Amino acid sequence: MALYVKAAEILEKSEMKQAALKTLVYESKFPNIKQLFALVCETEKFSSVLEEIIESTKLLKQAKLKMPLAKVLVYDLLIGRGLKCGGSWKTVMMKHRPRLQAALARLKVKQKVSKNEDLLPASVQKLSGIQLPRYARVNTLKTTVEDAVDYLKRDGFSYLGHASSLKDLTLRKKDFMIDMHLPELLVFSPKTDFHDHFLYTAGHFILQDKASCLPAYLLNPPVGSHLIDACAAPGNKTSHLAAIMKNKGRLFAFDLDAKRLATMSTLLLRAGVTCQRLANQDFLTVDPDSQEFKDVEYVLLDPSCSGSGMVCLRDDASSANQDKVQARLASLASFQLRCLNHGLKFPRLKRLVYSTCSVHRQENEDVVAACLQQNPGFSTAKTRTQGFFVALLEKHSGAGSPRPEPAVQRSKPEATPLGPSSCKKRPAASEEESGASETEEMKEVEEIEETEEKEMEETKEETPITAAGQADSTPGKKKRKRGKKKKKAAVE
């Protein structure tokens, strides 16, 4: 019984974006971690199928269950290896089993499939065999990359140097490398686990996907600067910003969820962050003209989104629930646009990074395009990775006054999966940003609809590009590349 309670709790937290599934599982201290992790992952994978079965049978009302708990119970009853509990729950589920089995059978007939796996959204089926590397960001507030590498080598890991291509990232157990783009990011084989490792428990490692590292890396706040992390919890990006600033300056971090903020406070304490000022407040209620924020020049905005870029949350463009999906995307895009417009109101703002873990154009390019129509004094810089979207907006010199607010442009979601990781060079600091690090060359990978193996081969042929979206210093000059296909999120 405890297994299902804990699994339901983790699924609910994951949906609220409190942390990654694996992190939530390992931090739960559940006696059988492997069993819990398998149940949570498989339930999440079949989430849309389970939800349709549960709603069609009205199980929540009749069994008096909440959706997360109903999902894990129905998964094990119908798809997994059978219920692993007794008592009242088993009695209730066995009572409803014939109706649930009938609903599953009807669903298979409707979709003309015979296997449970064939009910999964096409995007999930395609990704089910893909294993992405395990990434760990070295927390430079507590250690150095060199010391971390030495420690790992003494601990039995095999250091293979700096990665130079995607093929290098196909690693065996105990192998690791430094990422080809982010110098403080270490790459390990997919099943490497650090949740009980000293480097993680001591705060020397931050277990953070590569895509999640890009926003802070691109914002690149100089040492001693004042900046805002607008929707900050659970705090990995906040700790990254603090490391880039070397804990010098002022980092204002806002989040509306008190529980998420409390979790974030614990994470920042473990990471050795001291320059933060946390506030349990809606970013949209923050006054940009307040004296407290008069020196804010940088903003990182990672608002609530659909999470469609996450491998375990990819939705299906052909789903029967598209009306519901489109309505949710419209609501999210409206909220994201309000946040983005608000973030650009800080008087001394120089640079803002907008990011989502979505692959939907409505939440990415359309939001940024609508924002730039109202704020012509800013230009974009965008990078895409698997499952992430980042747009960097820089202020032009001689910027004019904002224009009337436009509506978010709607567009059909793209069903085509996105290609391998690509990121651009970290924006170069301006002359007054003397503390900023030098930029590093990044490779741009064009969006391709071929197989992953072919994409990896073609990546070698890409050419380095210059810093992404740098603003032109000539007053009034605006660079706009119409007609060129915009890029969207893709990898960890």
So which residues are the catalytic ones?
A: 357
Burial tier of 460 (Cβ tally within 10 Å: 0-12, 13-18, 19+): exposed
The owner of tokens 């800013």 is: 378
Q: Would the annotation count 237 as a binding residue? A: yes
E strands in 126-274: 134-138, 158-162, 175-178, 185-188, 205-206, 226-229, 250-254
Q: What is the phi-psi region of residue 210: left when phi exceeds 0, alpha when psi lies from -120 to 50, beta otherwise?
A: alpha
For residue 285, give the DSSP letter.
G
Is residue 302 marked as binding? yes
CA distance 471 to 461: 28
The answer on whether 133 is annotated among ligand-binding residues is no
Q: In terms of Cα–Cα distance, which of 398, 402, 349, 399 is closest to 371?
A: 402
How far is Cα 484 from Cα 461, in angstroms, rounded to an integer?
20
The amino acid sitting at 96 is: H
Q: Reduce the DSSP state of residue 387 to 3 states and report it.
A: coil
User: For residues 263 and 267, what is the distance between their CA atoms, to the nearest angstrom?
Assistant: 6
In 3D, which of 419, 490, 418 has the Cα closest to residue 454?
419
Evaluate whether 55 touches 74 at the Cβ level (below 8 Å): no
Cβ(171)–Cβ(189) under 8 Å? Answer: yes
Tell whether 339 is in a known binding site: no
The answer to whether 147 is a known ligand-binding residue is: no
Pairing of strands 442-443, 464-465: antiparallel
For every residue of 98-136, which 3-state class applies, written as one string? HHHHHHHHHHHHHHCCCCHHHHCCHHHHHHCCCCCCEEE
What is the distance between the alpha carbons of residues 333 and 331, in angstroms, rounded to a whole number?
A: 6
What type of residue sits at position 88?
A: S
Per-residue tokens: 405: 């607010």
What is the spatial distance between Cα 255 and Cα 232, in angstroms, rounded to a whole number?
A: 6
Q: Is the peptide bond before 303 cis (omega within 30 degrees of 0)?
A: no
Backbone angles phi, psi at 78, to 5 degrees: -100, -35
CB of 251 within 8 A of CB of 235?
A: no
Strands 158-162 and 175-178: parallel
Q: What dihedral do alpha carbons 113, 116, 122, 123 form, nearest 10°?
A: 180
- The residues near 38 (Cβ < 8 Å, ≥ 6 apart) are none
For the chain, how many helices (H) and strands (E)? 16, 14
Does 231 count as an annotated binding residue? Answer: yes
Q: Which residues contribute to the annotated binding site? A: 231-237, 255, 282, 302
Q: Which residues contribute to the annotated binding site for S-adenosyl-L-methionine? A: 231-237, 255, 282, 302
